[in-house]
């Protein structure tokens, strides 16, 4: 057995002080707190209410009594055995980094279940599986094991905190069970680099997790998913993304489901209270891609819906609305291996050109096919092909918001080919598709700047700072004043107006979100002011 008295004798009193973990736990505590396995009583320095800490080590308790606040109470106690503790006296019971140190907690939890009052909050933190190895740990826990172990005590609520990848932190209100309303669903292939982040980003906000793994997967995707859920299923890929999503939907048990890919993560979660009240069947979510593009799409919806279309599948639903600002980050670069990215791009290219190409050949008015083929070739820098499909889309589409986005991309293609007159022409038409968008003025500035028409470019860049509240399903760029002021500075430099350039670069340095741009603009500003004095 590990010698805890020896351990605490040889280490300082704050050996286990972890400010993020202890401050998070302290914020969850309320009224009378019992801290089981308190060690040297670190939590008493973060929670200032009625506190009682117990630990098996007499040395740890002696140090706690000497070092911690005088109104905190500390006692030697082995809670793996029957004790004189009256759990009814406490409103909160904390077990922070305790359970992994004991191989038997049957007596402890039996006593808590029998004697603690209903509604007593258990706050438990422990290593996430084997994420924090230590010689004094005698067992490990995964999220899936936690849910099974405590299912009869109350609803387990995982806490969103910075250290959750290494340590799971959760609460249970004894005897309080909530009705499950939301599941996370993931379909994945070779996603072991990102799937844990995807799950962890949702763990505090969902009631269940369903992961469906392509049976041709060669990495540890399924094994990682099994740490967090027992609902891991293998499926046979059938050249059909909607079939894969519907396979997952059939295994969801809650009224609502949120779909993520294994290389995505949830940045802003849904409001569960609003979700229960809404009359919508599907909720628009913001999906932010690596290039900053935000696309609104109903990733959150009732489970009784279905998907259609083999590639770029779509949800069959007419009752779609907005409830809160759910934000999903698409992060293939950091969350997928180079091999998986390459395989996915190859699959994507094959399915798009083969399936959507055939659809378009059969019906040239199929705007869904022409749109996605245009976007696909644009991303691959095949600008002439992209222009062909974009123009085909614009010929037949009547969707104003979508037309604005495609025309915006068409301008980018013409810019890449230095076909400035075509770019200017479509800039003029953008305003007819969707009025008063700052992005329209911004891209007009880009077109004039590319032609060295710096005065006109400055005019449009400055006007792009004007903000008009407008919802759109497509947001191709994120507003960044630092970048815009940098472009204005470059235009003034092109005009030989060095003082104005210096002032623009100064504003860029002040407002830039990127540290490199902030530094660069600051140096440019000094140089321009110096040149203006000559």
Q: What is the pLDDT of residue 2?
A: 86
Q: How many residues does the chain have?
A: 534
Query: pLDDT confidence of 425, banded at 50, 70, 90?
Result: very high
Please say whether the beta carbons of 222 and 234 come within 8 A.
yes
Half-sphere exposure of 311 (CA within 13 A, CB side): 23
Q: Which distant-in-sequence residues (6+ apart) come within 8 Å of 3 by Cβ?
A: none
Q: Which distant-in-sequence residues (6+ apart) come within 8 Å of 338 by Cβ?
A: none
What whole-number distance in Å separates Cα of residue 450 and Cα of residue 420?
8
Q: In Å, how far are 104, 200, 288, 472 from 98, measured between CA atoms?
A: 11, 22, 39, 49
pLDDT in tens, 437-459: 999 999 999 999 999 999 999 99
**Phi, psi (degrees; rounded to nearest 5) at 465:** -70, -20
Does the pLDDT at position 371 exceed 90? yes
Does the pLDDT at position 175 exceed 70? yes
Half-sphere exposure of 290 (CA within 13 A, CB side): 9
Please say whether the beta carbons of 330 and 289 come within 8 A.
yes
Please say whether the beta carbons of 310 and 246 come within 8 A.
no
Please say whether the beta carbons of 122 and 98 come within 8 A.
no
Q: What is the pLDDT of residue 469?
A: 65
CATH number of this structure's domain 4-173, picked from the four choices 3.40.50.11540, 2.20.25.90, 3.40.50.150, 3.50.50.60: 3.40.50.150
All structural domains of the chain with their residue ranges? 4-173, 182-330
- The mean pLDDT of 352-362, rounded to a whole number, is 93
Specify burial of residue 19 (Cβ count, 10 A radius: 0-12, 13-18, 19+).
Answer: exposed
Does the pLDDT at position 1 exceed 80? no
DSSP states along 200-269: HHHTTT-SEEEEEEETT--SSHHHHHTTT-S-EEEE---S-HHHHHHHHHTT--SSEEEEEETTEEEEE-
> What stretches of 279-366 show up as alpha helix (H) in DSSP?
332-335, 338-351, 357-362
Mean per-residue pLDDT of the chain: 94
Q: What is the pLDDT of residue 325?
A: 86
Helices then strands, each counted (H, E), the chain: 21, 19
Does the pLDDT at position 470 exceed 70? no
Which is higher by pLDDT, 15 or 413? 413
Q: Which distant-in-sequence residues (6+ apart) come within 8 Å of 53 by Cβ?
A: 34, 35, 38, 41, 43, 44, 61, 64, 72, 73, 74, 75
Q: What is the pLDDT of residue 472?
A: 77
Q: What is the pLDDT of residue 466?
A: 86
Does the pLDDT at position 353 exceed 90? yes
Does the pLDDT at position 336 exceed 90? no
Q: What is the pLDDT of residue 471?
A: 67
Least confident of 259-268, 338-347, 353-362, 419-428: 338-347
Classify the C-alpha dihedral 345-346-348-349 as positive or negative. positive
pLDDT in tens, 197-231: 999 999 999 999 999 999 999 999 999 999 999 99
What architecture is domain 182-330? Answer: Alpha-Beta Complex (3.90)
Q: What is the pLDDT of residue 464?
A: 94
pLDDT in tens, 102-117: 999 999 999 999 999 9
Query: pLDDT confidence of 291, banded at 50, 70, 90?
Result: confident
- The mean pLDDT of 188-192, rounded to a whole number, is 94
**Phi, psi (degrees; rounded to nearest 5) at 75:** -140, 150
Q: What is the pLDDT of residue 216?
A: 93
What whole-number distance in Å separates Cα of residue 527 and Cα of residue 259?
50
């Amino acid at each position: 057995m590990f010698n805890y008295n020896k351990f605490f004798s040889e280490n300082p009193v704050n050996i286990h002080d972890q400010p993020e973990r202890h401050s998070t736990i302290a914020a969850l505590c309320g009224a009378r707190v019992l801290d089981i396995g308190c060690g040297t009583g670190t939590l008493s320095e973060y929670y200032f209410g009625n506190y009682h800490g117990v630990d098996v080590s007499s040395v740890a308790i002696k140090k706690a009594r000497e070092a911690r606040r005088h109104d905190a109470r500390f006692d030697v106690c082995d809670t793996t055995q029957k004790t004189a503790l009256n759990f009814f006296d406490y409103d909160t019971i904390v077990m922070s980094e305790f359970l992994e140190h004991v191989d038997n907690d049957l007596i402890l939890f039996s006593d808590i279940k029998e004697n603690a009052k209903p509604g007593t909050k258990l706050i438990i933190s422990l290593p996430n599986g084997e994420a924090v190895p230590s010689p004094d740990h005698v067992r490990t826990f995964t999220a899936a094991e936690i849910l099974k172990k405590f299912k009869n005590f109350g609803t387990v609520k995982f806490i969103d905190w910075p250290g959750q990848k290494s340590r799971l932190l959760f609460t249970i209100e004894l005897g309080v069970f909530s009705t499950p309303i939301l599941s996370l669903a993931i379909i994945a292939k070779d996603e072991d680099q990102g799937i844990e982040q995807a799950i962890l980003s949702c763990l505090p906000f969902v009631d269940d997790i369903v992961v469906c793994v392509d049976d041709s997967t060669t990495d540890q995707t399924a094994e990682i998913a099994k740490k967090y859920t027992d609902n891991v299923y293998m499926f046979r890929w059938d050249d059909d993304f909607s079939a894969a999503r519907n396979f997952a939907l059939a295994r969801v048990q809650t009224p609502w489901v949120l779909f993520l890919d294994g290389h995505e993560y949830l940045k802003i979660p849904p409001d569960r209270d609003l979700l229960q009240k809404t009359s919508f069947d599907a909720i628009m979510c913001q999906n932010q891609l690596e290039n900053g593009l935000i696309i609104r799409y109903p990733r959150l919806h009732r489970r009784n819906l279905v998907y259609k279309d083999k590639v770029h599948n779509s949800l069959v639903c007419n009752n779609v609305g907005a409830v809160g600002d759910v934000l999903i980050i698409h992060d293939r670069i950091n969350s997928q291996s180079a091999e998986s990215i390459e395989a996915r791009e190859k699959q994507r290219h094959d399915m798009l050109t083969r399936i959507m190409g055939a659809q378009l050949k059969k019906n040239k008015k199929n705007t869904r096919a022409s749109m996605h083929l245009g976007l696909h070739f644009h991303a691959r820098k095949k600008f002439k092909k992209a222009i062909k499909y974009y123009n085909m889309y614009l010929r037949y589409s009547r969707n104003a918001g979508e037309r604005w986005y495609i025309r915006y991309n068409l301008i980018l293609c013409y810019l890449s080919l230095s076909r400035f007159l075509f770019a200017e022409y479509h800039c003029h038409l953008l305003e007819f598709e969707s009025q008063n968008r700052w992005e329209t003025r911004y891209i007009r500035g880009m077109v004039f700047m590319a032609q060295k028409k710096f005065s006109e470019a400055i005019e449009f860049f400055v006007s792009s700072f004007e903000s008009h509240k407008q919802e759109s399903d497509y947001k191709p760029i994120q507003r960044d004043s630092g970048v815009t002021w940098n472009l204005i500075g470059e235009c003034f430099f092109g005009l030989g107006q060095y003082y104005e350039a210096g002032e623009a670069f100064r504003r860029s340095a002040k407002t830039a979100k990127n540290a490199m741009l902030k530094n660069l603009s600051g140096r440019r500003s000094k140089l321009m002011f110096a040149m203006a004095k000559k």
